Amino acid sequence: MIVRQFISWIRTAPAGERAEATRALARAWLISDLTEDDRIAAEGALLMLLDDPSPLVRQAMAEVFAHSAEAPAAIVRALSADQPAIALPVLEHSPLLIDADLVDIVATGSDEMQCTIARRVNLPASVAAAIAEVGSAAAALELIENPYAGLAPFSWDRIVERHGHLAAIRESMLALEDLPSATRLALVAKLSDTLAQFVVARNWLGADRADRIAGEAKERSTVNIAARAFGDDMQNLITHLRGTGQLTAGLILRALLSGNLDLFGAALAELSGLPYGRVSALLNDRGGNGLQALLRRAGLPESTYAAFRVALEASHEVGYVDSGDGAARLHRRMVERVLTHCETDQSAAEPLLILLRRFATESAREDARMFCEELAAEDAISVLPYDDDLIAA
């Protein structure tokens, strides 16, 4: 009876009063002990109010039903397709929207709707994948910053592919500690390409020189990222490098000359098709025959075999370098030893000598930089004020 009176009254009531009455009816539907007949009548009235000309009425319903798992599902779905002011609370919070509903709205909705869905708690991987595939850059940024979103590796890669040229996207992704190494490397590649295009457009560098510098930067970044990768993350990184044509002899030699035996061994295992344990055993064969057979099976140029052999001997003498900064930069002593050997080897190819000379220059500059930083740090400590009271305390 009360619902029937409500329906009669609401036909002539002002919009503001209709909205408040609708809010009260929606709350009653959720929390009041209505009879079965009144409950059916209330739901019918609420369905009718979806056609109310005033958005205030539908917004009142959305605010009440947005967080509830007991709300009428048909009404919630209708509200989720309404204008943004009405739909957004439902899209962000309603537990009644299934994955298919959300994916459809991502595909057809506005940027604002996509961003709202990207902020949902416990966002399923299927919805996150839809946002990564067709969502706007703003929605992708919301997705990256949502700690409750489940993203598959291919979704990360798709975001990089579509929006990796944007600084805000790159910075937000690179700040994530658990970002897959392959994705981190793809972001670095995007940045390198963007910078190369910028300096060429400004006529600061020629295209060839800019591409070479960008390539060298990507190689350094690869070894740096790999120094912090383990297990499946390392394997996925190696697979990415091979798939993108970056798993070259030059990169593998850089890894070895940086003391990163994990990356070196994983790369050879990938190229040779041998288990990683078998590759490790061959690398520890001091006779050298195992290494040559392994390099041949991996398809590396024969002209590089001597460089790899001398570098591996030097790494055995230097010792294993744990992942971290020590395995992310070239070791000057190792580089110079390999370069000296190749310069006296008549069979050494000129491209290999050029590469090693470049490595030698890079390692020398890095050592000089670190030396100057240490001196500056020592000078800063030496000028600190001497406080007898502080020491006594």
Q: Is residue 198 domain-shared with residue 282, that is, in the same domain?
A: no
* 81-112 tens-digit pLDDT: 999 989 999 999 999 999 999 999 999 989 99
Q: Decide which of 97, 121, 156 is a domain's last residue.
A: 97
* DSSP codes joined into one string, 24-80: HHHHHHHHS---HHHHHHHHHHHHHHTT-S-HHHHHHHHHHHTT-SSS-HHHHHHHH
Task: Indicate whether 139 belongs to any domain.
Answer: yes
Main-chain dihedrals φ then ψ at residue 30, nearest 5 degrees: -80, -40
Question: Quick one: pLDDT band at residue 323, thresholds 50, 70, 90?
Answer: very low
Q: Decide which of 125, 141, 176 is a domain's last residue.
A: 176
Output the CA–CA distances (angstroms, integers) from residue 15 to 9, 49, 55, 79, in the order listed.
12, 12, 9, 18
Helix (H/G/I), strand (E/B), else coil: 168 = helix
Give dist(CA 259, CA 271) in Å, integer: 19
pLDDT at residue 13, as a whole number: 83
Q: Decide which of 55, 80, 97 is a domain's last residue.
A: 97
Task: Indicate whether 345 belongs to any domain.
Answer: yes
Task: Indicate whether 387 belongs to any domain.
Answer: no
Average pLDDT over residues 125-144: 96
Does residue 180 contact residue 157 with C-beta atoms inside 8 Å? no
Give dist(CA 243, CA 265) in Å, integer: 18
Q: Is residue 4 domain-shared with residue 71, that is, in the same domain?
A: yes
Does residue 115 contact residue 127 with C-beta atoms inside 8 Å? no
Question: Quick one: pLDDT band at residue 388, thresholds 50, 70, 90?
Answer: low
pLDDT at residue 390, as a whole number: 47
Does residue 73 contact residue 35 with C-beta atoms inside 8 Å? no
pTM of the predicted model as reported, rounded to 2 decimal places: 0.76
Between 13 and 1, the higher pLDDT residue: 13
**Does 324 have pLDDT greater than 80?**
no
pLDDT at residue 215, as a whole number: 86
* 167-188 tens-digit pLDDT: 999 999 999 988 999 999 999 9
Question: Quick one: pLDDT band at residue 376, thresholds 50, 70, 90?
Answer: confident
Question: Quick one: pLDDT band at residue 374, thresholds 50, 70, 90?
Answer: confident
**Does 330 have pLDDT greater than 50?**
yes
Task: Indicate whether 384 belongs to any domain.
Answer: no
Output the CA–CA distances (angstroms, integers) from residue 104 to 136, 143, 156, 269, in the order listed.
15, 17, 20, 43
**Does 25 have pLDDT greater than 70?**
yes
* DSSP codes joined into one string, 245-280: T---HHHHHHHHHTT-HHHHHHHHHHHH---HHHHH
**Does 352 have pLDDT greater than 50?**
yes
Q: Is residue 63 domain-shared with residue 153, that is, in the same domain?
A: no
Sign for the CA dihedral angle at 151, 156, 162, 168 comes to positive
Q: Is residue 261 domain-shared with residue 150, that is, in the same domain?
A: no
**Does 1 have pLDDT greater than 90?**
no
Average pLDDT over residues 387-392: 52
Task: Indicate whether 343 belongs to any domain.
Answer: yes
pLDDT at residue 178, as a whole number: 87
Output the CA–CA distances (angstroms, integers) from residue 275 to 216, 280, 297, 307, 316, in the order listed.
29, 9, 13, 24, 21
* 229-252 tens-digit pLDDT: 889 999 999 999 999 999 999 999
Question: Quick one: pLDDT band at residue 32, thresholds 50, 70, 90?
Answer: confident
Give the angle 84-87-93 at the CA atoms, nearest 5°: 130
Task: Indicate whether 390 belongs to any domain.
Answer: no
pLDDT at residue 112, as a whole number: 95
Question: Quick one: pLDDT band at residue 43, thresholds 50, 70, 90?
Answer: confident
Q: Which two tokens stand for residue 311?
A: 């570098």
Choose the weakest-confidence range: 9-18, 77-86, 175-184, 364-373: 9-18
Range of the domain at 120: 103-176
Q: How many domains does the structure of the chain reveal?
A: 4
Task: Indicate whether 348 belongs to any domain.
Answer: yes
Question: Quick one: pLDDT band at residue 393, thresholds 50, 70, 90?
Answer: very low
**Does 318 have pLDDT greater than 80?**
no
Average pLDDT, the chain: 87
Give dist(CA 174, CA 166) in Å, integer: 12
Q: Is residue 256 domain-shared with residue 235, that is, in the same domain?
A: no
Average pLDDT over residues 302-320: 85
First to last CA, the chain: 82
* 256-296 tens-digit pLDDT: 999 888 999 999 999 999 999 999 888 887 665 788 889 99
Q: Is residue 266 domain-shared with residue 343, that is, in the same domain?
A: yes
Q: How far is CA 319 from the centre of its chain?
A: 33
Q: Is 42 exposed, middle or buried (CB count within 10 Å of its CB: 0-12, 13-18, 19+)? A: buried
Give dist(CA 351, CA 338) in Å, integer: 14
Question: Quick one: pLDDT band at residue 4, thresholds 50, 70, 90?
Answer: low
Q: Is residue 47 domain-shared with residue 109, that is, in the same domain?
A: no
Kind and range of the H or E run holding 91: helix 84-93
Give dist(CA 293, CA 305) in Å, integer: 10
Between 1 and 151, the higher pLDDT residue: 151
pLDDT at residue 79, as a whole number: 94
Does residue 91 contact residue 117 with C-beta atoms inside 8 Å? yes
**Does 326 have pLDDT greater than 70?**
no
How many residues appear in the chain? 393
Average pLDDT over residues 193-215: 87
Average pLDDT over residues 347-351: 83
